Amino acid sequence: MSDAGWIWGVRAAGVFHFVTLIAACFTPIPPNWDENLARLPEIHRRFAIAQNFFIGATIAFWGAVSLWFAPELVAGSVAARVVCTGVALWWGGRLVVLPWLRVWPQLAGSWQRTGFRLLQLECASYALAYGWLACRRG
């Protein structure tokens, strides 16, 4: 693929990072989140909320970097390859963690199951694409 194609693809990935973030705000996983958190000690509630915040902040950061710095990421400088390695590892890590969460029985309908499969596909796609960019030399 040409560099122009890669730049377009990285920018599209940036947009989809934000689409994922918006979709996450409307995803009822796990069900009864507030009620379940209310039963935990306050410190555990704060950890769960902070974890979700940092996941969201990381997705937003990768999205912004992908949108604003796509040509630099594709150019393959050492710094760009380090950033692409970070994105690839982060999304690859999410791909590994998702099955461990065992959410499938909690997914009530076909929309949620489809969304979960799309999330897995997104994780794999980002891990592979940004991993490929991480291996390119400028």
How far apart are alpha carbons 113 and 56 in whole angstroms?
A: 21
- Structural domain harbouring 9: 3-135
Give the number of other CB atoms < 10 A from CB of residue 136.
15
Q: Does the structure show a pLDDT above 90 at 31? A: no
Residue 17: what pLDDT?
96
How far apart are alpha carbons 44 and 6 in whole angstroms?
A: 42
Give the pLDDT band (50/70/90) at residue 61. Answer: very high
Q: How many domains does the chain have?
A: 1
Residue 13: what pLDDT?
97
Residue 138: what pLDDT?
63
Give the pLDDT band (50/70/90) at residue 70. Answer: very high
Residue 3: what pLDDT?
87
Q: Does the structure show a pLDDT above 80 at 73? A: yes
